[in-house]
Amino acid sequence: DGGITQSPKYLFRKEGQNVTLSCEQNLNHDAMYWYRQDPGQGLRLIYYSQIVNDFQKGDIAEGYSVSREKKESFPLTVTSAQKNPTAFYLCASSIRGNNSPLHFGNGTRLTVT
């Protein structure tokens, strides 16, 4: 089955540690996105990538970093500089074309204590 996989589903870390969230897709999509969702809120864009080896900052990129070395993979690192890292993180992908739907993974819930 084609799809977008985020792992792990739940992640716990101590404050001050960097943590990397995995996002893999086998849909052959060019574009990939990372969003963050806080309780009762909509999604906010962290980073997105329209093509391999290229990515752009979203609205809340501070304290996060990404890489796009392969078309299938777009890992997100939450660094110790991110002041409020506890959140639900969602990855998505889409084909080229501005009306192509985004396909979302089922998210990673990160808790930092």
Residues in contact with another protein by the rule CB under 8 A: 30-31, 33, 35, 40-45, 48, 50, 58, 90-92, 94, 96-107
Question: Each residue of 37-54: b (16+ CB within 10 Å) or e?
Answer: eeeeeebebbbbbeeeee
Beta carbon of residue 30, minimum distance to another protein (angstroms, whole number): 7
In which residue are the tokens 């796009």 written? 68
Question: Each residue of 64-80: b (16+ CB within 10 Å) or e?
Answer: bbbebeebbebbbebee
Q: Which is nearer to another protein, 44 or 80 (CB)?
A: 44
Q: Which is nearer to another protein, 30 or 65 (CB)?
A: 30
Beta carbon of residue 106, minimum distance to another protein (angstroms, whole number): 5
Beta carbon of residue 80, minimum distance to another protein (angstroms, whole number): 26
